[in-house]
Structure 1
Amino acid sequence: MYAVRIFNSDYFTIQNLEISNTGKERKAGRTGLKVECTDYGISHNIRINNLTIRDVNGSLVKEEGGGSGILIVNGGDSIRSRFDSLTIENCHILRCERNAMIWSGYYDRKNWYPNKHTIVRNNLIEKVPGDGIVPIGCDSTLIEYNLMCDSPDILPMTEAAAGIWPWSCDNTIIQYNEVWGHKAPWDAQGFDSDYNCQNTLIQYNYSHDNYGGMVLICNSGNAGDYSCGNIGSIVRYNISIGDGIRPKETRQGMFSPSIHIAGPVKQTLVERNIIHANPKPSDAVDRTMITSDSWDGYADSTYFRQNIYYAAEPSHFDFTSSTRNAFEENIYIGQFKNQPESQKNKKAENIYTEKVLQESADGYKGLHCLMDSTKIKEHTLHHIKPEAIKTFFQSIF
C-alpha cells in the first residue's frame, strides 16, 4: 500500500530519495510515501524534501480510494492527533495515480482538530491525471511556487478533479503557482476554493490551457452540519489564458466556464483577475465567462471588482438564481451576452490592446511580462509578479 511510511514521528526529515510503487494492477489507496499520525498527539516538524516519487498505480476512481504520490493521514480514537509544521518542498511527483498529494484528517466541524502551519512549496507535479495538491482538515496552510502540468486524459468519465484546492480547511493561502494541461472529465480547473472552508485566498497564480476554467468556488448545499459551507473566499491578481477548452462532453455537455461558482457560497470577492479567453477548438466548446449555478443552493453576496474579461469569440455570463451579486468597474473586451455592466472603459480597452493584443493575440507574450520565470526541476514555473500586475491595473484604473 506504500513504499515508505513515516509513523508517529517528530523532527524528522526525509530527503534525496527516489520512490516508486508499481503493482501488477491498479490498487485503491496505493501511495508512494505515507506520513501518518494516529493516536499520538501532535507530530512536530516533519520535512519532506527533494524526493522523486514516480509510477504509483493507484485507482483512478475517487470513491474507491484513489491513489497518490504522497498521502498525509492524521486521526485517532483515543488521542486526537495532528501535524504541526509539516513541510513538503522541492519534490517531483511523476506519473502517480490518481493524485499527487492529498490529506486525510478531521474534516467534521463537530470534531475539529486541524493540522497547523503546513507548507507546500517548490514542487513539480507532472503527468498526474487527478488532483494535484489537496489539503484536508488543515488550518493556515501555505501553498506556493508549485507547478502542475501535462495531466494525461485517462480518468473515467465519472471523475472530477482540479489542480490545487483545499477541502475542510481554514485560512489557506494559494499563491505563485502554475497549473496547465489539466484534463479531468469534470471540473479540471487550475484552482478551486472548495466547501467546508473559510477564508481561502487564491492570489498571483497562473492557469492556462486547462480543460476547465481558471477557478471553481463551490459549496455543497446538502453537506449537513459537518460543514461550515464556503465563506470569505478571495480570488485576486490571477491570470488565465486559453482555459476552458474541454473537447468532449461531460455531465453537462461541454461545460467549462472560465469561472465557475457552484452552490451556496457566501461573501466571495473576485478582484483584479485577467481572464483571456482564446478561440475554442470547436463550435461545441463552452464559451461562458462566468457561471454561478446550483449545488443544492445558490451563491449569495459575490463581489466582482476591476476584473478584465477578454473573449476572442462571443461569450456570455450566466448568474442563474444567485443573489446579491455586485459589480464594480470590470472591463469587458469582446462581445458578451448578459453582460452585468453596461458602461465602457475605452482607456482600459486601448491599454489592453496595446500592451497585450498587439504583442500577441493569444495573450501569452503580452501577459508574460507580468510574470517571473524560475526553474523548478527540469521545467519552467511562471508566477505573477505582484508589483507588475498591480502597476498594470493602476494604469487602467
Structure 2
Amino acid sequence: MKWGLFRSFCMTVLMFLCGGALFAVSASAATYYVDSVSGNDANSGTGETAAWKTLTKVNGVTFQPGDQILFKKGGSWTGTLWPKGSGADGLPIVIDSYGSGGMPLINGNGNEAAVYLSNQQYWEIRQLEITNSNGASSRRNGIYVVNQDGGTLNHIHLIGNNVHDVYGNNVKDGNGSSGIKIRTIAGSVKSNYQNILIDGNTVGPRVDRTGIDINSDYWCRQDSGCSGTYNWYPSTNVMISNNYVTDVGGDGIVPMATEGAVVQYNTVNGFNIRSGTVNAGIWAWNADHTVIQYNEAFNGHTSQDGQGFDIDYGQTGTIVQYNYSHDNDGGFILICQPAGAKNDGGIVRYNISQNDHARIFQLAGPTTNTQVYNNTVYLPAGSSTSPIYANSWGGYTQSISFRNNIWMLQGAGSWQGMSNIASLDFNTNTIYGAHTAGEPADANKSTQNPSLAAAGGGGTGRNSVDGYALVQGSPAIGSGVIIPDNGGKDYWGNAVPSAAAPNRGAYNGTGVPAPANLVVNGGFEQGSLTPWYNWNTASVTSGNARSGTYAVQLAGGPGSAEQIVQLAPNTTYTLKGYAKTADGSQPIRIGVKNYGGAEKYAAISTTSYSQGEVTFTTGSSNMTATIYVYKPSGSAAAYGDDIELVKNP
C-alpha cells in the first residue's frame, strides 16, 4: 500500500476509534524551527533547513494544540516573544530549543516583557535565556504571563529557563517588575489559574525587583484586611520548585492569592539587595494552606524585613518545614499580620537557622494559633541577635506555642516583647549557652549542652547541615513533648513518633557518633603542653581550669600555645575552645593558620570562660594546620581550656 493511502487509512481508523474531534486536534500538531542566523521568514518553518528567522514571524502565528516552537541554541533575538494561540489538555504548546550551544537568548530590550502570554493556556516554556534591559529602569519582566477576563486558565509550565539582567523598577506592588511573573488582572470576568509549574529556573543575577511571583487583583477578602467588595479567587495546583534565585532587588519567591501552593527545593541566595523596602526570601501572601519546604534562603540584606522566610497575613494553615536559613540580616522567619487581617494556624517545624541576624523569630501583630516546634537555632559567639522579637502591629501576638526547639546560643541579644504575648505556650525547649534578658520561663526547659555534632559548621546547601544532628547520648534525644499531627519526619527524613516522646530540635534520629577530636591534649590534662609548643609565655597550670584539673596559661602577651594538626585537603573543620582573660581590655584568641586560607580566630574578652569558634576549609594541597591559643599583648594573664577540632560531617 502506498504511504499516502496507508496514512489516510490510519487516520480514518483512528478518527473512528478515538473520536474525530480529538484526532483532528492531534493531527494538526507541528514543530516549527527558528534560527536567528540562517533562518528566513519566507520559509515554512517546519524543518531545520526551513527555519523562520524573527520574533515578528513567530508572534504573527496562532499556534495549535501540540505544536512545538524550537529556537536554535546559540541564537539571539531582540524584542518580545509573544506567540499566539492555546494548547489543550494533554496537548500543550511547547517552546524549547534545538541544536547545540548556549540557550537561545531573548532580550526584551526594555519592553514590558521579554516573553509574554496573554489569556492563553496549556503552554510550556523551556530552556530559554531571557534578559530585559536597555539601560533605563522601568516596570518590566523577564517572563510575564497575564490573565484578564480569561476565566480559569490551565497549565502554565515554565521550566529550566535562565532569567537574568531584568532592569526593572523596585516598586513593591502587584504590577511591579519580576524575573518571572504570573498575574491575574481584574476585569469583567472573575479569573484565576489552575496548574502552574515553575521548575528548575535560574533567576538572577541583577533582577529587580522580585525573583518569582504569582499575584492577582482578585485578592479582596476580610483575611487580607480588605474592606471593599470581596472578590478573592485563588489560583490552585501551584508548584514552585527547584529554582535558584540570586541577587534580586526585593523579594525572592512569593505566591499570592493561591490555595494549597507548594514551594519546595528552591534556593534564594541574595535578596532585598536594592529595593530599600520590606522584603523576604520566600513567603506567601493572602494564600491559604501554603507549604514551604526543603528550601534554602541566605544572604538577605537589611532588616526591612530581611528574613529568609515569612508567614505573612491573609493566610490560614501555612506550613514552613525542612528549610535552612542562614546569614540573613533580618533573621530566620517573620510571622505577622496587621489588626483587622488574619494569620491563623501557621506551623514552623524542623527548620535550621544558622548565623541569622537581628532576630530569629519576629512576631508582629495579633496572629493566632501559631505552632513553632522542633527547630534548631545556632548563634555564634559575639552575636547580638534576639532569639524572639515580638512587636505590635495593631496589637501583639494573640496565641503561639514554642515546643521542642533547640537554641544553641554562643552569643545572643535579649528576648524582646515576650510579656506582651496574650497566650504563650513555651514548653520543653533547650536553651544552651547565653542566657539573656527576657528569656521566657519554661517548666521543662533544658540548659544542658544538646551535643550537636558540629554546630555552626553548616555551609551552603541544605545537605551541608549534618552538624546539627544530635550526638549519641545527647540529653535532647527522647526528651521532647508529643505534638499531634507532627508531620511524621524530621529534617533528615527520620521518623518522628506520634505516641512516644520525640527529640528536641530538627533531628529525630537515634544519634550520630561524636566526631573525633583531632587535637591532642586539648584539655591539657596531661599536666604538660606536649604536643603543644610554647611561644614566649605559655605553660600548663593546675588552677583556673574550666574542666578537669589543668588549663593553659598565657602569662601576658605576646605569647601563645600552638599545635600542628594533621588534616585532609579540601575539607571543612570547626575549631572550638574556651578562654578567659584577667583583664577584659586584653582579649585572648583561639584560632587557626597555615591551612591554605586566611588566618581565622575568635577573640574572647570575658573574665570568665567563654567559648570561641571558627570554621575553615583546608586548601587543595594542605594536609596540616596550626591551631593556637594566643594573647597578643598586655601583662594580664589569660587562660584556655577544652580545645576541640572536628571534621564537619
Instruction: Sort the TM-score into its range (normalised by shorter chain).
Output: 0.7 to 0.9
Which residue identity is paired with 2:466? C
Distance change >3 Å, CA 302–CA 152, structure 1 → 2: closer
Match of 1:325 among 381, 399, 424: 424
Determine the structure 2 residue equivalent to 1:340.
440
Q: In the alignment, is residue 108 of structure 1 matched against residue 217 of structure 2? A: no
Q: In the alignment, is residue 362 of structure 1 matched against residue 447 of structure 2? A: no
Distance change >3 Å, CA 367–CA 327, structure 1 → 2: farther
Output the CA distance in 1 between the equivalents of 2:241 and 2:292: 10
Alignment length (residue pairs): 357
Match of 1:270 among 372, 376, 390: 372
Output the CA distance in 2 between the equivalents of 1:295 and 1:43: 37
Determine the structure 2 residue equivalent to 1:298.
396
Q: Deviation at 1:10?
A: 2.0
Determine the structure 2 residue equivalent to 1:143.
263
Determine the structure 1 residue equivalent to 2:308.
190
Q: In the alignment, is residue 24 of structure 1 matched against residue 135 of structure 2? A: yes
Output the CA distance in 2 between the equivalents of 1:6 and 1:184: 35
Q: Deviation at 1:152?
A: 7.0
Q: In the alignment, is residue 39 of structure 1 matched against residue 137 of structure 2? A: no
| Partners of 1:371 and 1:385 within 8 A in 2 | no
Determine the structure 1 residue equivalent to 2:198.
88
Q: In the alignment, is residue 5 of structure 1 matched against residue 106 of structure 2? A: no
Output the CA distance in 2 between the equivalents of 1:18 and 1:330: 48
Instruction: Name the SS for the 2:394 alignment partner.
Output: coil
Q: Deviation at 1:83?
A: 0.5
Q: In the alignment, is residue 288 of structure 1 matched against residue 386 of structure 2? A: yes
Distance change >3 Å, CA 309–CA 197, structure 1 → 2: same
Determine the structure 2 residue equivalent to 1:349.
448
Output the CA distance in 2 between the equivalents of 1:232 and 1:258: 20
Determine the structure 1 residue equivalent to 2:56.
none
Which residue identity is paired with 1:98? R
Alignment of 1:43-192 (within 5 A): 43-62=153-172, 66-94=176-204, 95-105=206-216, 106-109=218-221, 110-151=230-271, 153-156=273-276, 159-192=277-310
Output the CA distance in 1 between the equivalents of 2:169 and 2:495: 42
Instruction: Name the SS for the 1:315 alignment partner.
Output: coil
Instruction: Name the SS for the 2:287 alignment partner.
Output: strand
Q: Deviation at 1:18?
A: 0.7
Output the CA distance in 2 between the equivalents of 1:371 and 1:142: 26
Match of 2:345 among 223, 227, 232: 232
More strand per residue: 1 or 2?
A: 1
| Partners of 1:204 and 1:386 within 8 A in 2 | no
**Which is bigger in relative contact order (C-alpha 8 A, separation at least 6)?**
1
Q: Deviation at 1:291?
A: 1.1
Match of 1:310 among 408, 412, 420: 408
Determine the structure 1 residue equivalent to 2:363.
261
| Partners of 1:129 and 1:182 within 8 A in 2 | no
Q: Deviation at 1:196?
A: 0.7
Determine the structure 2 residue equivalent to 1:251.
none
Which residue identity is paired with 1:112? W
State which drifts further: 314-323 or 290-299. 314-323
Distance change >3 Å, CA 50–CA 317, structure 1 → 2: same
Output the CA distance in 1 between the equivalents of 2:165 and 2:187: 33
Distance change >3 Å, CA 86–CA 344, structure 1 → 2: closer
Determine the structure 1 residue equivalent to 2:328.
210
Distance change >3 Å, CA 42–CA 344, structure 1 → 2: closer
Q: Deviation at 1:321?
A: 1.8
Q: Deviation at 1:393?
A: 3.9
Q: Deviation at 1:78?
A: 1.6
| Partners of 1:155 and 1:185 within 8 A in 2 | no
| Partners of 1:293 and 1:320 within 8 A in 2 | no
Q: Deviation at 1:299?
A: 0.8
Which residue identity is paired with 1:126? T
Output the CA distance in 1 between the equivalents of 2:422 and 2:265: 35
Which residue identity is paired with 2:402? F
Output the CA distance in 1 between the equivalents of 2:219 and 2:379: 36
Q: Deviation at 1:385?
A: 2.0
| Partners of 1:155 and 1:184 within 8 A in 2 | no
Q: Deviations over 1:246-289 (max 9, x none)?
A: xxxxxxxxxx21100100101100011111112357xxxx4210
Q: Deviation at 1:394?
A: 6.2
Q: Deviation at 1:36?
A: 1.0
Q: Deviation at 1:340?
A: 1.4
Output the CA distance in 2 between the equivalents of 1:65 and 1:7: 15
Output the CA distance in 2 between the equivalents of 1:44 and 1:141: 15
**Long gaps (5+) in structure 2:** 1-111, 222-229, 470-489, 497-501, 512-649
Distance change >3 Å, CA 176–CA 384, structure 1 → 2: same
**Long gaps (5+) in structure 1:** 245-255, 373-382
Which residue identity is paired with 2:493? P
Output the CA distance in 2 between the equivalents of 1:91 and 1:40: 26
| Partners of 2:265 and 2:295 within 8 A in 1 | yes
Match of 2:125 among 14, 18, 28: 14
Overall identity of the aligned pairs, in %: 32
Distance change >3 Å, CA 66–CA 41, structure 1 → 2: closer
Which residue identity is paired with 1:338? G
| Partners of 2:199 and 2:243 within 8 A in 1 | yes
Distance change >3 Å, CA 149–CA 371, structure 1 → 2: farther
Output the CA distance in 2 between the equivalents of 1:11 and 1:38: 16
What do you get for the CA RMSD once the two structures are aligned? 2.5
State which drifts further: 112-121 or 286-295. 286-295
Instruction: Name the SS for the 1:117 alignment partner.
Output: strand
Output the CA distance in 2 between the equivalents of 1:88 and 1:329: 39
State which drifts further: 271-280 or 161-170. 271-280
Q: Deviation at 1:20?
A: 0.5
Output the CA distance in 1 between the equivalents of 2:151 and 2:173: 29
Distance change >3 Å, CA 344–CA 200, structure 1 → 2: closer
Instruction: Name the SS for the 2:310 alignment partner.
Output: strand
Q: Deviations over 1:113-169 (max 9, x none)?
A: 10001000000001113101111111010000000113474333xx11100000010
